Structure 1
């Protein structure tokens, strides 16, 4: 799941205070209610809880896909990649206008 991998990458980059946005209401609700279902989804949640315990601060917010266009575009773009890509200080050129809009709207 993207949220788990995003948290992992952020922590490996040295970030330990995180705000994680998700457009998955089921993930957001499960994290908010600290659910631990006995399912593959529950195993992902268990991993996320473990990562959370290593952060100084972490919070989650639900953002509709329309409000999270940058994440949606990067996820879509990743479908064509054979290996993991991480952009920390820059973004792909075709995504930059959406990054600028995201920053302007904060």
Structure 2
């Protein structure tokens, strides 16, 4: 299965774990469930053949995994009450800390990427913001890791020493925070980030959903409109003025 080229991937992952990371990052939850179920049936079929049993055809494996997943999902739906979606909002860091939100965007039609970074204090005030174009193509996971790297360096250059690095890629945030370097395609970037973070007096990583990371997302998309890099220091970029106000509207702060 390591030789399977998943839809939407620029290259074939070298092993199953890297393929899993890519699918988890790129596909919606229902596709990931189908992927995992099919992989489980393939594994069981392999073991059965090794113990002398007859191998199933690819169609039989696919059909069996589809039926199994459908039965499981039906059971989950019937046994769980409907749950309303809880909106994820931006949350300020603890007093004395700074939160660095990062995001990346892929501009396939231009073979370019965009990086967005927004750094705020515990009152929601802008310490710095950045929008940067990368004049070369990266995959979705790679650009998220690159955004984290740029966000860390930018925070250091602003003179901040207690930061929370926050992004909407759980894969990247987990890789930075743990001993696991994550997918092979981001290991070099993660290693570079891990060489930076010990310089800070204190640091953490935080995963948030896209709606909690809107300001950084807007900055990443804005990179399509600039040539190289635009930086704001202690000033709110017009592109995110409304979003920053919305983020802190219930906190009783004045962010601008």
Which blocks of at least 5 consecutive residues in structure 2 are unaligned? 1-145, 252-256
- Aligned partner of 1:76 in structure 2 is 221
Question: 1: CA distance between counterparts of 2:189 and 2:239?
Answer: 31
Larger radius of gyration: 2
Q: What is the Cα deviation at residue 104 of structure 1?
A: 2.8
Q: 1:12 aligns with which of 133, 157, 160?
A: 157
Matches within 5 A, 1:24-35: 24-35=169-180
Give RMSD over aligned pairs. Answer: 1.7
Distance in 2, matches of 1:38 and 1:25, equals: 12
Deviation digits for residues 65-105 of structure 1, max 9, x if unmatched? 11111011001001222112222211222310101111235
- Which structure is richer in relative contact order (CA contacts within 8 A, separation 6 or more)? 1
Query: Which ranges in structure 1 are unaligned for 5 or more consecutive residues?
Result: none
Q: Deviations over 1:25-82 (max 9, x none)?
A: 1102212322225834001101110110111111111010111110110010012221
TM-score in terms of structure 1 length? 0.88
Secondary structure, counterpart of 2:243 in structure 1? helix
Going from structure 1 to structure 2, the CA distance change for 1:105 and 1:24 (only over 3 Å counts) comes to farther
Which of 196, 199, 223 is matched with 1:51 structurally? 196
2:206 to 49, 61, 65: 61
Distance change in 2, residues 1:105/1:71 (3 Å): farther
The residue aligned with 2:247 is 102
SS of the residue 1:61 aligns to: strand
SS at match of 1:18: strand
Structure 1 SS opposite 2:155? helix
User: How many equivalent pairs are there?
Assistant: 106
**TM-score, normalisation: structure 2:** 0.39
Partner SS, residue 85 of structure 1: strand
Which consecutive segments of 4 or more residues in structure 1 shift more than 3 A? none
Structure with the largest fraction of strand: 2
- For the residues of structure 2 that align with 1:2 and 1:38, how far apart are their CA atoms? 16
